[in-house]
Amino acid sequence: MAGEVTGEGVRMRFVLAGNERIGCECLRTLLRENQQVVGVITDLPNSRSKLENKRLKHLAHQSGIRVYEIADINDPGFLGELRLLAPDVLFNIAFLHLYKAPVLGIPASGCINFHPGPLPKYGGMNGWVWAIINGESEYGVAFHYMKEQIDAGDIIGRERFSIEQEETGLSLLMKCYDRGIALFGNVLRDILENHVAPVAQDMGERSYYYNRVPFGGLIDTQWHAAKICDFVRAMNFTPFPNPLSPPMIAHGSTRLVVAKAEVLPDTGDHGCIPGEVVELKPEGVVMKAGNGVIMLTLSNISGPSADTAGVCATSGIVRGSILGC
């Protein structure tokens, strides 16, 4: 690793490309370690996602660091600016641009990405959501060198942790960020002390998820009751705007939002088919699943508040109705 040795240790030139709270906290770590952050790159403000990065930009400006808000890190005009910054390392933290060879070749000691997933499994997008849907009991985060193949570079830091029984898409993402912030400090120290020990990924163990809404956001009533609950929790980002889709169930041409799902004791098949409404309760619709019985608390897609009785009355859901088709 390149770097300048000072009386306070090794001091290197870093660029941080980041978004959200984790980007801000990683910048704070670099500053606390007295490193030379020569630039901060972040996304243009996005009115749809409400992504503004106010805290990150404020910390950078307060520290005298130039902020670059860009639409594409591979833009030839920006690459000239990045070369002038002459970074030793570029950290990519929750900055979802696809890096091409020219930008990857600029930092003297490479580009390093934070991935909210236990690579080589759960590469790609929204892995934590899929982990809950898949019924995983454990998840993880990793830092790795970047190359043009996404999430495939050598790993230089990782940590695994439990997925709790009531974990949601939001809570697991926040856990990934918290663990990632702590792990960033360890990775940075390894870099500064020249203790980095890259480990190649076993690509035979790789799993990869594309940037698509899982199952189009729709519950399949053939699923086991437990999987329906997992899906509803995985797609729950309350109270923040949902970046994917709320969990929904079809009723004819209508899509109903499912605010909550709970597995109920199964006292028999009731002579029902998957998706059939067994009972209407004030707190939810009791429905036969592919295996077991589940209670769904419903909301209208036009409003986030749970109102099962109102939704049923408006949608014509009664005992014997068939959901999911």
Q: 209, 237, 269 — which closes off a domain? A: 209
* 158 and 274 co-located in one domain: no
**Which residues are paired to 280 by β-bridges?**
285
Say if residue 286 is in the same domain as residue 229.
Answer: yes
Q: Do 279 and 178 sit in the same domain of this protein? A: no
**Total domain count, the chain:** 2
pLDDT confidence of residue 309: 87
pLDDT digits (tens, 9 = 90+) for 200-230: 999 999 999 999 999 999 999 999 999 999 9
- Among 209, 241, 269, where does a domain finish? 209
* Rounded CA separation 60/45 (Å): 16
Q: Which of 154, 178, 209 is the last residue of a domain?
A: 209
Strand partners, 159: 141
For residue 68, the cross-strand partners are 41
State the Cα–Cα distance between residues 188 and 182, nearest whole angstrom: 10
DSSP 168: -
| Domain-located, residue 323 | no
Full residue range of the structural domain in which residue 86 is found = 4-209
Claim to verify: residue 306 and residue 238 sit in the same structural domain: yes
199 domain residue, yes or no:
yes
Q: Write down the pLDDT at residue 299.
A: 85
CATH number of residue 172's parent domain: 3.40.50.170
What's the confidence (pLDDT) of residue 7?
43
- The segments of the chain whose pLDDT lies below 50 read 7, 49
Q: Which residues lie closer than 8 Å to 255 by C-beta, 6 or more apart? A: 217, 218, 248, 249, 301
Looking at residue 64, its amino acid is: G
With residue 278 as reference, give the H or E element that holds it. strand 277-281
Q: Where are the alpha helices (DSSP H) in the chain?
A: 20-32, 54-62, 76-85, 101-104, 127-133, 169-192, 225-234, 308-315
The pTM score is 0.92
Q: Which long-range contacts (CB under 8 A, 24 or more apart) does 283-289 make?
A: 283/308, 284/260, 284/308, 285/312, 285/317, 285/323, 287/221, 287/323, 288/221, 289/221, 289/222, 289/223, 289/224, 289/225, 289/228
